[in-house]
Amino acid sequence: MCVDYRDLNKVSSKDNFPLPYIDTLVDNTAGYSLFSFMDDFSGYNQIKMHPEDMEKTTFITIWGTFCYKVMPIGLKNIGATYQRAIVTLFHDMMYKEIDVYIDDMIAKSLIEKEHVQVLRKLFLSEKGIEINLDKVMAIQELPPPCTQKEIQGSLGRLNYIVRFISQLTKKCDPIFRLLKKHNPGVWDEEC
């Protein structure tokens, strides 16, 4: 989807959150021997829009009128907004263990053992990899599926949490039975 936000950008005030100078980022790597370069793939789309601003991103398609719930590419201030979010999130690591330019990140260390620690700190919380509770709630709040396609969709959504629930496939047996060709089963409490 490509939306032209030039008119919206003209009337939007500029966010002056500072972006780092490339020269400074390069200078900050001096003396380090190990580097990991990362690109925050679809990073902008991980930041939720403020509810009041969602309608400003409205666009029309042949299927209806829609608006973005997350930051779309093309808005005037996405770079500054994203930089602010990353600096806030990783404030304790900035300029010491990592450097960030919008959605590009460099983790840096002097020795291998230290580098592994930096990457662990960057990617994991003290509890390890955690499930996003908002996504779990969204799955729980879905209405019971009625058609075979809806059942398949529900199973697909459960793939998100499969690594966090022991024997999830076994626990989903009642749902899998509903997909059998000659089973007119009904979604019930067991499902």
Domain-wise residue ranges, the chain: 6-123, 133-178
Hey, how many other C-beta atoms are within 10 angstroms of the C-beta on 71?
22
Question: Quick one: fold of 6-123?
Answer: Alpha-Beta Plaits (3.30.70)
Q: Summarize pLDDT for 91-137 with one digit per residue, the tens.
A: 889 889 999 998 899 999 999 999 999 998 888 666 666 677 777 78
Give the pLDDT score at 125.
63
Q: Exposure string (b/e) for 126-140, b if CB count within 10 Å is 16 or more?
A: eeeeeeeeeeeeeee
pTM (2 decimals)? 0.60
Which residues neighbour 32 within 8 Å (Cβ) at sequence distance 6 or greater?
Answer: 108, 109, 110
Give the pLDDT score at 14.
93
Hey, how many other C-beta atoms are within 10 angstroms of the C-beta on 57?
19
Q: Are 74 and 3 in contact (CB under 8 A)?
A: yes
**Which two structure tokens, joined as six digits, stand for 20?**
């780092």
Give the pLDDT score at 163.
66
Which residues of the chain are modeled with pLDDT < 70? 124-130, 159-160, 162-163, 183-184
Q: Are 95 and 28 in contact (CB under 8 A)?
A: yes
Give the pLDDT score at 127.
62
